[in-house]
Homo-oligomer: A and B are copies of this chain.
Amino acid sequence: MTTSLEITHPPAHGDLREGLINAGLTLLARDGTAGLTLRKCAALAGVSHAAPAHHFQGLPGLLDAIAARGYSRFADAMEAQASAGPNEPRARLEAICLAYFDFARDNPALYDLMFRQIWSLAGSGEELRLAGARAYAVLAEASAPFVLPGTAPGVVETQVWSLIHGYATLTLVGKLGRNRPIASVEDLLSLLRRLPLNL
């Protein structure tokens, strides 16, 4: 009944918290959202079922920490993809959108956790707030060249974010391509190409 995976080393002092987060990420990637459980995390990290409560305040706290880690990786992925291409506004924006979608596709359960966290009202969630803000900053920076004078930056940012996030979530739940052949990410981005540049 015990799962095959066990962490062999007795956890050194500080890193049980880290171990629990990693266990959560593993479970999420392997078994999906339903497979992520406080008790399974504890078992995978090699501790008793109530141990997580001492490092996070209950399940919400653990999910918060996992989501924060997710946002961190998310921001890294977008930054990397943006830096890989030409340093031109439209290319950067499209690179970030592609990275956004790829991340969601490659980490569906984690992505779902990140953008679902209705709980997170629990802890102040400082770590989560910071990681989320960093990811948002990447998107905001790429949107900046399209902000027309006299308009709030939040408008373009929200347009871009809504578009790519909607596409990602709809794809993840399998909604797209049910009634029509799937429109690709490039098809999607063609709408953004209509955005005028602020020269």
Instruction: Report which of B133, B163, B173, B178 forms a contact with A162, defined as CB distance below 8 A.
Output: B163
Query: Complex formed: what's the CA distance from A154 to B169 in Å?
Result: 17
The number of chain A residues with a CB under 8 A from chain B is: 42
Question: A187 with B155: in contact, given A166-B169, A173-B118 (CB under 8 Å)?
Answer: yes
This chain: how many copies in the complex?
A: 2
Instruction: Tell whether A122 is near chain B: CB-to-CB under 8 Å.
Output: no
Instruction: Report which of B152, B161, B173, B188 forms a contact with A158, defined as CB distance below 8 A.
Output: B188
Contact across chains for B118 and A159 when beta carbons are under 8 A apart: no
Question: A154 with B182: in contact, given A116-B173, A159-B191, A173-B115 (CB under 8 Å)?
Answer: yes
Instruction: Tell whether A150 is near chain B: CB-to-CB under 8 Å.
Output: no
Residue of B nearest to A151 (CB): B187
Question: A166 with B161: in contact, given A152-B181, A181-B152, A191-B191 (CB under 8 Å)?
Answer: yes
Q: Give 9 A-B contacts (CB < 8 Å), ordered by A residue.
A: A136-B178, A154-B182, A155-B190, A158-B170, A162-B163, A163-B163, A165-B170, A166-B169, A194-B194
